[in-house]
Structure 1
Amino acid sequence: MRIGELSGRTGVPVPTIKYYVREGLLAPGELTSPNQASYGDAHERRLRLIRALLEVGGLSVANIGEVLVAVDDKQRSTHKLLGAAADLLVPGYTGDGCATLADGDADGAPDAELDADPDVVVARKKVADLIAARDWHVSPDSPQAQALTTALAALSRIGHGGFAEVLDAYATAAEGVARADLAHVGRGPAREDLIEEVVVGIVMGDAMFAALRRMAQVDGSSRAFGTGGAAGPDGLPG
């Protein structure tokens, strides 16, 4: 197909497609004449992935490049491929494998003052204990674990450290959701499809889960404290 048809099928403007080619995100088309190139299904799939990473995942062009390098590395296992994409979607991720802890250094590495912060120290232990208790194959220094540490430390700072008592219940729910996620992701035959599923699943899945959680909270509140009737448009029992 010509670049105009590729643009029409993907919704990506021609100048943007040419920019992706210049940046190395998209392979050049096959030259059919000095001024014409032909593009195929692989280009369409790659453009769809780039759009998902950019528009849904909110990744920078540089970080998209990192993911695409992993996709094209056929020696990289599916586990490491999905991990590379998931790491980039962690809030505070710096692009060097670190998730920035609040008040830490710009490069994501905790400074000495942060190491001495009692809220952070306690939060790190809680996260490490959770990982050990559940036998999760996750490093306590991973971006995901650091993001959880940041959240727990913030709760403690604002006087709501007791909320961490629900951490184990959250972990149990997260395991169930993760199993459902991976069962769905496993259907994708191509590596590009896998990454697109992960990006869309993490970002939109988080939004779906947050909405479902709030709906369940409204229902639970109605049953425990309200009339037990259906909630109205304002979320309160009707």
Structure 2
Amino acid sequence: MRLAELSERSGVSASTIKYYLREGLLQPGHRVTATQAAYGEEHLRRLRLVRALIQIGKVPVAVAREVVAAAEDSSLDHHMRLGAAARALPHGPGPAEDDEATGIARRSVEALLEQLDWRCMHDDASPALGTLVASVAALVRLGYPCDTAHLLSYGRIAAELAVADLDAVEEQPTAAGQIEAAVALTVLYEPVLLSLRRLAHVQESARRFGVATDFGSSG
């Protein structure tokens, strides 16, 4: 397909596509003349990923470039490529190591990992792990329940979500497509999960604390 068709099918303007090409976010097309190139389905798929990262996930162009590079790095095994792409995504702040609450939080998180048998997380420098410790430390400072027992239910739900996510990722037929899907699903489903959680809070609050009305009673 030509650039105009790629723009129409992807919903990305031709000028933006040219910008992505210059920035290395999109691989060059197959040159057919001195001034024209042809593009394939892999370009369309990559455009959708980049658009999801930048426009929906608010990921900076430089970070999106790292994700794309990780997806294309065939020197890494599949697990490492997935991890490299995930690490490139924006994360929250890490913990303040000189804070007493951080020490308490880190012990709770380490015990949680033991309970969940997440052995691959031990000695991991993942930004997500640092953000988790920082978040639990904030709960410690404010006096909210955040010991291992309270965290465990969240960890178990996260484990179930990971199975669903990776099942969806494995539906993609190529390794590069799976990595792109893993990143896109992470970016796109996080607001879905947040919204569902808030809606569930409303439903559970109504169940627990709402005023029951028996429409079947006749007074």
Q: What TM-score range do you get, normalising by the shorter chain?
A: 0.7 to 0.9
Matched, 1:216 2:200: yes
Aligned to 1:121: 103
How do residues 85-100 of structure 1 correspond to structure 2 at under 5 angstroms? Answer: 85-92=85-92, 100=93
Question: Equivalent residue for 1:26?
Answer: 26
How far apart are residue 29 of structure 1 and its match? 2.2
Kept in 2, the 8 Å contact 1:124–1:149? The answer is: yes
Stretches of 4+ aligned residues off by more than 3 angstroms: 227-230
Task: State the AA in 2 paired with 1:152.
Answer: V
User: Partners of 1:51 and 1:183 in 2: how far apart?
Assistant: 23
Note closer, same or farther for the CA distance 1:17–1:209 as it changes in structure 2 (3 Å cut): closer
Larger displacement relative to structure 2 (144-153 or 196-205): 196-205
- Paired residues, number: 211
Aligned AA (1:101): G
Render the CA deviation track for 1:84-108: whole Å, top value 9, x for unaligned: 222233523xxxxxxx325xxxxxx
* Secondary structure, counterpart of 2:97 in structure 1: helix
CA contact (8 A) 2:29 2:38 kept: yes
Over aligned residue pairs, what C-alpha RMSD do you find? Answer: 2.3
Mapped contact 2:116–2:156 kept (Cα < 8 A): no
Alignment of 1:95-174 (within 5 A): 100-101=93-94, 114-136=96-118, 137-139=120-122, 140-160=124-144, 162-164=145-147, 165-174=149-158
Query: Retained in 1: the 8 A contact 2:109–2:133?
Result: yes
Q: Please give the secondary structure, in 2, of the residue aligned with 1:116.
A: coil
Q: State the alpha-carbon separation in 1 of the partners of residues 28 and 189 from structure 2.
A: 33
- Look up the SS of the partner of 1:28 in the other structure: coil
Given that residues 67 and 84 in structure 1 are in contact (C-alpha distance below 8 angstroms), is that contact kept between their aligned partners in structure 2?
A: yes
> Which amino acid is 2:94 matched to?
L
* Unaligned 5+ runs, structure 1: 93-99, 103-113, 231-238
Instruction: Give runs of aligned pairs for residues 73-84 of structure 1, distance below 5 A.
Output: 73-84=73-84
1:7-26 matches, within 5 Å, as 7-26=7-26
1:67 counterpart = 2:67: yes
Cα pair distance change 1:90/1:172, threshold 3 Å:
farther
Structure 1 residues 192 and 229, CA gap change in structure 2 (3 angstroms): farther
CA distance in 2, matches of 1:228, 1:75: 61
Structure 2 unaligned regions, length at least 5: 215-219
CA-to-aligned-CA distance 1:57-77 (integer Å, 9 cap, x gap): 322221122111121122322
Q: Tell me, in whole angstroms, the C-alpha distance in 2 between the residues paired with 1:206 and 1:30.
A: 35
Question: CA offsets, 1:148-200, max 9 Å, x none?
Answer: 1011111122332x244521111111111111111122111123432343233
TM-score norm. by structure 1 comes to 0.78
User: TM-score, length-normalised on structure 2?
Assistant: 0.84
Retained in 2: the 8 A contact 1:49–1:192?
no
Kindly indicate whether the alpha-carbon contact (under 8 Å) linking 2:86 and 2:183 is maintained by their aligned counterparts in 1. yes
Q: 1:219 to 1:13 in 2, by over 3 A?
A: closer
Map of 1:236 onto structure 2: none
* 2:191 aligned partner, one-letter code: A
Identify which of structures 1 and 2 has the higher relative contact order when contacts are C-alpha pairs closer than 8 Å and 6+ apart: 2
Conservation of the 8 A alpha-carbon contact between 2:66 and 2:88: no
**3-state SS of 1:12 partner:** coil
